[in-house]
Amino acid sequence: MPPAFMTRLRRRRLAFACMAALIIGLPASCAVLEHAERKLLFRIEPGTAGWYHGLPDSVQELDLQPKRFRAGQSIHAWWWPAERANAPAILYLHGVRWNLTGQLFRIEQLRAAGYSVLAIDYRGFGKSQGDLPSESSVYEDARVAWERFQQLQPDPDKRLIYGHSLGGAVAIDLAAELGRNAARDHTPLPVRGLVIESTFTSLADVAAAVADTSLPVRWLLSQKFDSIDKIADIHMPLLVVHGQADAFVPPRFSEQLFAAARQPKRLLLVPGGTHNNSMALGGQNYRKAIDALMRAPRVAGSASGQIARDS
């Protein structure tokens, strides 16, 4: 048989085996299965990333410990103010596996573009103290960071939320809550806009794509990250970025999020961009897209929007 066919067959057999194991073990060991799922999802790498070259002197290290956290829990954060006083600021929410030391190269690019950056490690990552993360805990951590972010940059017109990969799902959840609250209370949005890069519609969609299966993966996952169901609620300018050579998260997921979102919005597809280098490869076009986001009108409208392909 052709090698490609055998590979697909093995993937499907593995998917069926996992599904059967989950169904059989579900009644007796839900907690064990959920813990294993979370461990596999976040894949936390201990220590510092191999490419980390040290923290710049102007970065301030913060420990966020809200009263609602249990004893011994805290969020470690970096606040890197821009050289220009009262510059616009970005709340940076990272994805799985790497802690802040693995994110510095991307944070440096945002600051070089003239933005102050507040970046956090979720509890369980890096120097943050806490248990194995979950969908609910990373959402809560983003809200804690948001509270401090508002203090660091008091001007709502100078605030952006940014999420990379799974951090994009965290960012969408936060932005949707802020958007719904503003719409309900008939108050101005407390943030200028949202940037999401290399992210997905839902965790189930990614799992199905990786396993190359049409099985109902959604029913088996306790961690949902259903961004596609929330994206229309953000009610703020949106920039969606995806590398067209992303081997981990297919670009079609960003295209689907973009289609489901309201105006004003822009989709920036980066030819040759992988899961991690679209910001660097996009260069000036990426920077201009963020700058344009800062000037976009904050009135949610239709589902049509602007699509750009970097070159």
Given this model, what pLDDT does residue 221 score? 86
Selected residue with higher pLDDT from 308 and 51: 51
Name the active-site residue from 121, 173, 205, 246: 246
Q: What percent of the chain has pLDDT over 70?
A: 84
Strand partners for 129: 74
Name the active-site residue from 165, 198, 202, 227: 165
Provide the edge-to-edge strand list for the sheet that holds 265-270.
60-64, 75-80, 116-120, 89-93, 159-164, 193-197, 238-243, 265-270, 306-309
Name the active-site residue from 35, 137, 157, 275: 275
> What letter represents residue 44's amino acid?
I
pLDDT tens for each residue of 268-299: 999 999 999 999 999 999 999 999 999 988 76
pTM score, whole prediction? 0.88
Strand partners for 119: 78, 92
- With a cut of 70, say whether residue 40 has pLDDT above it: yes
Query: How far are the Cα atoms of 75, 78, 161 from residue 176, in angstroms, in the given order?
Result: 22, 24, 11
Q: Over the chain, what is the mean pLDDT?
A: 89
Residue 165 falls in the annotated catalytic set: yes
Residue 275 falls in the annotated catalytic set: yes
Residue 63 falls in the annotated catalytic set: no
> What letter represents residue 70's amino acid?
R
263/160 Cα distance (integer angstroms): 17
257/176 Cα distance (integer angstroms): 13
- Residues 245-252, mean pLDDT to the nearest whole number: 96
pLDDT tens for each residue of 213-244: 665 666 678 899 999 999 999 999 999 999 99
Given this model, what pLDDT does residue 210 score? 78
Largest CA distance in the chain: 65
Selected residue with higher pLDDT from 209 and 240: 240
